[in-house]
Structure 1
Amino acid sequence: MGKSKSGKMVMMTAVLVLSLAVSGIAGAAAGITTMKKDSMELMNLRQAAGMYGYSIEWSSKDRSVSLVYMDKMMDDGEMMDDGMKPAGKMIKVWIGSKKIMVDGKNVNLNMAPALYDGSTYVVNTVIADYMKPAKAMK
């Protein structure tokens, strides 16, 4: 009976390790640089902006980054019509503040955006909930 429990424990551990490894590979495949701060993973905002069709502007005056969604264009200049639209078309984050603005509405984050090596890093929530396109409802 002892061997059965230890066998299950080994199997559960193996599944957990494999799932963590796969999620790490998926994150790396997305091409967005990450960093750890206070045991939380932060993602490079400029890379995400480029990936999801946002223009980006830094303001040194108030230490903020403004993002504006630009409809993605194909190489031949035609608009892509894949039904994908982001949750937010205008996003503004301030370094050191847990408050961001999404389409004119204040949103609270669990960690403030941070500067590291000249780049802005944000919690995944900013990207997953407000930048990453979702299939449009028809």
Structure 2
Amino acid sequence: MKSWKKIAVISMVVFAVALPGAASAEESMMAGYDYTKVNTIMKDGMELVPLREIAESLGYQVIWGDENRSITINDKKDMMMDDSMKDKTMDGMMEKGHSWMLQIGSTSMKDGEAEVMLEVAPMIVNDMTYVPKEVVDQHLLQPMMMK
């Protein structure tokens, strides 16, 4: 009878440890982006995705800098506050969200103040900017999951 109790206790411990991991893995899967709805391309074995289309669908503002072929992505918090919000902040200053800056042909990307290296530089194909899928997964989706 004692061995049956040991098995029951061990089983409960295993389930208690495994269940939270399974739940967080499921949450991570749900938080991903459905890339089947966008046209992707392959470059040097890496999947590239259309940046503006995905960023805007996630609620980000995308700004093209023609003079230096740069792309700035702003969190929607980067906007002027209306009068009803001014008294809740210092002097009605602009509430600052997060931003990213990329440049066509450069493997360096600014994530806020941090410099991030990309495996493949952003490129223009058919008048659309494509970036490695990891840029979306690691930089645009993660801040959304923290909100």
Q: Same fold by TM (over 0.5)?
A: yes
TM, length-normalised to structure 2: 0.59
What fraction of aligned residue pairs are identical, expressed as a percent?
Answer: 28
Aligned match for 1:58, one of 59, 64, 81: 64
- Between Structure 1 and Structure 2, the one with more helix by share is 2
Separation in structure 2 between the aligned mates of residue 125 and residue 41 of structure 1, nearest angstrom? 9
What is the count of residue pairs matched by the alignment?
A: 93
TM, length-normalised to structure 1: 0.62
- The answer as to whether partners of 1:33 and 1:47 remain within 8 angstroms in 2 is no
Runs of 4+ aligned structure 1 residues displaced above 2 Å come to: none
Q: Which segments of 5 or more consecutive residues in structure 2 lack a partner in the other structure?
A: 1-33, 78-96
- Between Structure 1 and Structure 2, the one with more strand by share is 1
Give the aligned partner of residue 20 of structure 1: none
**Partner amino acid, structure 2, of 1:128:** D
Give the aligned partner of residue 129 of structure 2: 120
Q: Which segments of 5 or more consecutive residues in structure 1 lack a partner in the other structure?
A: 1-25, 72-87
Question: What is the DSSP-based 3-state SS (H/G/I as helix, E as strand, rest coil) of the residue aligned with 2:49?
Answer: strand
Matched, 1:134 2:142: no
RMSD: 1.6
Matched, 1:33 2:39: yes
